[in-house]
Structure formats: C-alpha cells, structure tokens
Chain A
Amino acid sequence: MAVSERTTGTPQPIGFSRSTWGRVALVLRWIALLIAVVLFLIPFYLILRNALATEQDITAPDWTLFPSHLQWSNISELFNDTTVPMARAMYNSAVVAILGTGGQLLLASMAGYGLARIPYRHADKIFYAIVATLMIPGAVTFIPSFIVVSSFGWVSSLRGLIIPTLFSGFAAFLFRQYFLGFPRELEEAARVDGAGYFGVFWRIVVPNSLPFFAALAAITFIGNWNSFLWPLVIGQDSSSWTIQVAMSTFITAQTINIHELFMAVAVSILPLVLIFAFLQRYLIQGVTQSGIKD
C-alpha cells in the first residue's frame, strides 16, 4: 500500500499509510501547519494594518480587521515629522549595511584566499589566530570594543558604526574553506597566461564564486541592517542613529504616534523583504553553509 508513496523518491520522515489512522494524522498535520502559518503571519498583518490606519482605528475598543480608509499619507507624515529623524536614520542604516557588507566581504574573501592559496611560512599561525577569535562570544565584546572605539573618538560617527564590524573571523574562515575547494585547474590556466595572484583572484576566482559571495552577502546585509546592540552603544547622538536605534528610542519615548511608528517598521523591513523575495535561494544556502545569522 504505502509502497506507491515511496516511488516519488522524496523521503517521508513520518510515513504515510492509507489506514484510517493515517488519514486522521494527515488531516491533523495539515491543521497544525495552517495554524502555524496564521500565527507566523499575524505580526506582518499587524504591521500593515497599523501602518495604514489612523490613531483612532488603532486605539478603538473594538478590533477593526483592517482600516476602512487606508492612510497612505502616513508615509509622508513619517518623513516630514521633524521631531523624528527617520529619513536620517534610514540613510545611516543604508550606509552601514552597504559599506559594512561590501567591506566585510572584500576583507574576508582576500584574507581567505591568501590563507588558502598563497604559500607563506607562518600562514598556519595566522589562521589559528583568526580561528581563536571565534571562541569569543560576539555580544560580550561590546564593552571592550567601546573602550577602544571611544578612545579613537569614533563615538556617534559612521566610522565607529562600520569599521569595527568589518573584520569577521568567521567570514574569513568560511572563505578559506571555500577557496580550498575551488578548482585549481582554472587558476593554473590563468597563471599560464601570465596572471599573478591579484589577477587570478579578481578575474578568475571571484567571477566564478558569485553564488558563494551572494549567499554570504545576503546574510551579512540582513545582520548589519538589523544589528542593534553596537549601533545603540555607538549612536549616542540622534544624528548617528540607525533605523533600529531610532525605532527602539520611540517605543518608549511616547513622542510619536503608533501609526507613524508602524509605518517606520514597514519601511524598515522593505529592503529585507525584497532580498527575501529575490535572493531567498542564496539566503538559504548561506544559512545552511554557515549556520549563522547574528
């Protein structure tokens, strides 16, 4: 009976059978799945509902499923509100996420390639020194890093937000492992044509590794855009707030309307939803290759 199920070739972790019990189990699984879907989508529904509502809609004693009149003007209200530096915060976040991601990938990929392919007597020691930093729990370093960055005078500056985050030992490690498995034949061919390490890396290795770069870029970009603790530590002046710090400040400050805040949320997740829509393949690759997010 159940053999026909197997012919699809997909593994069945919980096997199917056509018995009554099998059918009940199937229905129960579908119910569980659909309940989970609804629960997971509720917060997104709330973002849309509140972002496009008036304050009266939100605070009404009876729940309105969706505002009767969609307030698209909330967008202009948010960006014209002079008490809330949202446009500036959005700009800061974009700069931090783009430069942070680009810089981190550039530094880590070159370091990873050097460690994987360029012979040097002390390469092993340097590799161990990089791997050793992975032992240190990331979040605990915010006080030590703050001590150094503040003595550079980088508090409340984009430099302070970006530069200390560029040197990811984990990214360098992943790139080294990846480049160790890169087909040598491709590199040798270019070398015969007279290219040096630099030429081989930029003209052969990078263009042939774009999916790997895309996977790490997607994860790093999301991590940078959503990062909170370091921007909170560094952004002590509202001109250097990222979007996360700005939203966090207004959760408690009570100086902003709820619908404005939810519009800020909607705008802030838009870039990431686009990444999810178009780069999900790379994102999932990145997650499974690295097992990291934060």
Chain B
Amino acid sequence: MSFPWAKEYTPSNGVTKFLDEKLPLPRLVYNAVGAGYPVPRNLSYFWNFGVLAGFFLVLQIVTGIILAMHYAANAQVAFATTEHIMRNVNWGWLMRYAHANGASFFFIVVYLHIFRGFYYSSYKAPREMIWLLGVTIFLLMMATAFMGYVLPWGQMSFWGAKVITGLFGAIPLVGEPIQIWLLGGYAPDNAALNRFFSLHFLLPFVIAGCVILHIWALHIPGSSNPTGVEIKSESDTLPFHPYYTVKDGFGLGVALLVFFSLVFFLPNALGHPDNYIEANPLSTPAHIVPEWYFWPFYAILRAFTGDLTIPFTGVVLIEAKLLGVLAMFGSILLWFILPWLDKSPVRSGHYRPLFRKFFWFGLIPAMIVLFICGGAPAEEPYVMLSQLATAYYFLHFLVILPIVGQIEKPEPLPYSITEAVLGSDKKAVLGENASPAV
C-alpha cells in the first residue's frame, strides 16, 4: 500500500494491459488482496476472521437471493411458503438451513473479529475509522438479522418483532406513535412483514458498501498485528498473496467444516422449536428469547427492573423500561467512543499486564454471564446476575479502561515485528532484503 517496498503490478499480457489502461481493476485487486499489499509477518489466526466475515456475507447474500425466489412476504402465506421451501423446492432445505446457520456463523466470526479488536486494541490510532465502520457494520448486521428472523412468521418471529419494536415504545412522548409507524399497525401484521422483507433485502448491500469502506480504511495504515508494534521495514512484512491468501484459505476450510457439520447434522440446534408454530397474535410463547447472538444485549435490556428516581422523593426521572432500552443501545454505541476512552499508548493486550487481568477476569466473564442470562427466563438468580454483569460491563469501558491506561506499567515492547518473531539476533533482524522504513 503506502509502503515503498510494495510490489508493483505489471500487466503480463494484452488483455490485462488493455484493462489496466481502461479500468485498472486487476491492479486494484493486486494492491488490495494480492502480492502488492504488504502485511505484518506475524499475524496469528485471530486475523482470519475479517476474511471469514466477508465470506459469510457473500454466502448470506447468495442463499438469501435464492430464498427470496421462493418465499412470499404476506402474513397469509409467509409461514406456508417457508415450509414450501423446506419440503417442495429442490434443495430448498439446504438453502434455508445454510441461510439460517449462515447468520449464526456470520455473528460467530464477527464476534471473534471484535474480540480480536478488543484484546489487541485494534481500534487505536491510526485505525479509528476502521473501527467506527466496523461498529456500524455490526449495528447493520443486528438490524438485518432481526428483520430476517421475522420473515418465516413463526411464533418467535412474531413475538420477537413485537418485543423489539416495543423497545421504541419506551421513548418518552413520541414512543408509541413511532412504534405504530414502524409496524404500520398496532401489532405486527402484513405491513410490518412486507417492509421487513424489503429492508432485509436491502441492508446486506448497505453492509457490503460499508465493508468496502472498512477495507479501504484498513489499507491506509495497513493491518495491525499481535505485537501492536507498527511496521518499520520490509523484513516486518510479507506480501498478502500467497502468504495470507493461503492462511485465510486454511481458516476458511476449518470454518466451513464446522459450518456444514451444523447445516447437515444439527440444522436446528441454534434455532427455537417455537418458530415452527405459525404466528399467533393471541398467544405468547412461554419463554420468548431472541436468537443466541442477541443474548448479551437482551440481558442488559432486562437487567433494569426499577425506575431511576431522585432518592427519598419518589420522583421518577427515567422509567425502568426506558433505562433498559437506553442501556442496551448504549452498550454498543459506547464502542464508538472506545478509541478515545482507552488512552494507553500500548496497543496489544500481550504487553499490558493490568489490562489483561481486567480483560480475562472482568470483561470476558461478564460477557459470558450476560450471554447465559440473556437466554434464560426472567427470574432469579438470572436477573441479579445480569444486573451485576451489566454494571461491570459499563464500568469496564467507562471507568476501568481509561484508568488502567493511566496507571499501568506496560511490559517492554519488542523493537520491531521482526525482532518479536526472530529474536534480537542482529543477523536475523536485518535479513538480506531489509530496507529502512521511509
């Protein structure tokens, strides 16, 4: 990219020469994911998940467009056409199971991608914009996944739609009109189903656009790496192709093995049996839960059971319902300011002893507790546990991270990526191709 030792694209034959003059698309690909993109030599498998997320986005778009050819977004027949896809359409079961589990896998790889970002502080300068775009993509994914889950028009579809649009009803004064406007009625019905289908079709392409911006922004500073030390010379890097195309290819193979094990042998393991019952506005399922990938945030929503009042006066400042909604959206929106909350000059958690303790013994257990509580019924001890975990979650980002950055004494960083990989042996560090950074 901006590194002076990046290999130059040279068109080899008449066709590529013609293209390079008229529309240099091969050059763009070469510089973006080819030999022309120098990448840190020490990337671990945690750096696979961006490519995997891209793969699952494509998989979702392809299977989704196929499903749309056989599905009808009308409350009278939506459930029936979903079953039609499963029973009558050739290979329809494969398309639908791949799409449903593909959504789960998209979230799995994106969560691991975000986990990587948290641990290695990938969000820090100069990569803030990549992070901001990533959080935007995540929010779009959540909206897309939610609306997609409504489309089969089963019991969980219907009640999920009702509960989630009900969140907007918590907004003071304008909440209820907004909810009715979003649904096009007083309860989810044909109008809501149709617009969710339309938007569910549109948003993946908006995500694809954001992904292009995400990758564009990535190519300006280049990839981060497990040491968090910036690239200093050519010996710190390898060309993306063939080194990381192969490494990503291997990771993709592993991911697909797991993915298709689920699609073929446990296709409903991540779903809810209730969604094979057609939507019934008069009967709520005993236990409404969203899809697993929303559980931590759902737990935060439910953690707020009491109003925020001025002490001893009983004057209600914010109702419990609105508090829960604000906290749930806030828990993700605060990621937008994360690059400015965590001021530590050291990126990688590998060299931050205090940060690491709070990360492994604070944030990760809190997330696991929230995940479990989000999937559990709204009763004790889950309510209390999710309250504790929610408190820690916000404390971690808003208080602990900024303070740790101030008081922590980081471990010594390696001089360069090359040194981190090969040790400080002079000969090893300065390989034959070593050239100083410009």
A and B are partners in one complex rather than unrelated chains = no
Q: Report which A residues bind B (CB closer than 8 A).
A: none
Q: Report which B residues bind A (CB closer than 8 A).
A: none
